[in-house]
Copies of this chain bind each other. A is one copy, B any other.
Amino acid sequence: MLFTTDAVVAGIHVDSSLMSASDMGWKALTTAVSDIGAMGGTPAHAVVTLCAPPGTDVDGLAEGIGEAAARWRCPVVGGDLTGASQLVISVSITGTIEGEAPAVLRTGARPGDSILVTGPLGRSAAGLRLLAGGPGPRSGDDRTRADLVLAYRRPQARLDEGRAARAGGATAMMDVSDGLGLDLHRLAEASGVGIVLDTVPAAVGATEAEALGGGEDYELLIAVGDVDALAARFASRGLRPPIRIGACTADPSELRWGPDPLPRSGYQHQL
């Protein structure tokens, strides 16, 4: 059995002036579901703790939580509602995993493994920039704009991709939640390997900085020995091909982006 928890805090993870209560509810449940997906599992049940200041649109939050629970087939079976000065939505999820093999953690990457992501990055950060009144997408396309905004407001959990990666031999996996630069450092540290990043795949309308440090895309970061076997597994399930972005090395102190040091770009929680 898998068991994971995640919190969304207003003003940190979400800006209530840029998204509706129902979007916040969606995001809270989906980011927790994403943690199960990043282990190669399938979500089973959720419990939700809502710490809400006076005047919070609890109905709207519940609506978005319910929509995400239906989308990811992860019913909410319990919860707790309490007052607070700041909105916090904490979601815990149980999950199951197919067959006998263990869940994929971030600790198993080996020197020589390739590093892949399940899609181009920076969409959520670009969507936030557009919502905050920043410069528009380079493509100037309304559909691109809508896609980026949706990526920020209604992120998706890569459950099919996570299961395919586990079945296809992934040695380590995590979701890109805080930013590719930072999350690559975490994967390398957890696995005791170095990483050389060759390319940063930015989504249409997103800048390279957004792709490297934006986070909140919830694409999966995958380490795997046999890239072709993994790609074949994705193809046989009708999934978008994963994108190879780099490789693991034997020296844990080696964290490079091409010839340069790999920055820890991403959201660092301050305590």
Interfacial residues, chain A to chain B (CB-CB below 8 A) = 1, 3-7, 9, 11-13, 45, 47-49, 51-52, 54-56, 58, 77-86, 88, 90, 92, 94, 269-271
CA distance A90 to B8 in the complex (A): 12
Partner of A5, one of B1, B47, B52, B269: B47
Given A3-B47, A49-B7, A78-B5, the answer on whether A12 and B271 have CB atoms closer than 8 Å is no
Given A90-B88, A92-B47, the answer on whether A5 and B80 have CB atoms closer than 8 Å is yes
Which residue of chain B has its CB nearest to the CB of A9? B84
Of all A-B residue pairs in the complex, the 9 with the closest CB atoms, nearest first, are: A92-B92, A90-B90, A5-B47, A7-B49, A49-B90, A85-B86, A83-B269, A9-B84, A88-B88
Can you sample 30 A-B contacts with CB below 8 Å?
A3-B92, A3-B94, A4-B47, A4-B78, A5-B48, A5-B49, A5-B78, A5-B79, A7-B49, A7-B82, A7-B88, A9-B83, A12-B83, A13-B82, A47-B92, A49-B92, A51-B86, A52-B271, A54-B271, A58-B271, A81-B271, A83-B270, A83-B271, A84-B86, A84-B88, A85-B86, A86-B86, A88-B88, A90-B92, A92-B92
Partner of A80, one of B6, B45, B271: B6
CB distance from A138 to the nearest CB of B (A): 32
CB neighbours (8 Å) of A7 from chain B are 49, 51, 80, 82, 88, 90
CB distance from A27 to the nearest CB of B (A): 14
CB neighbours (8 Å) of A80 from chain B are 5-7, 90
Q: Could you tell me if A92 and B5 are in contact, using CB atoms closer than 8 angstroms? A: yes
CB neighbours (8 Å) of A269 from chain B are 81-83
CB distance from A142 to the nearest CB of B (A): 34
CA distance A78 to B4 in the complex (A): 6
CB distance from A28 to the nearest CB of B (A): 11
CA distance A7 to B50 in the complex (A): 8
CB neighbours (8 Å) of A78 from chain B are 3-5
CB neighbours (8 Å) of A55 from chain B are 271
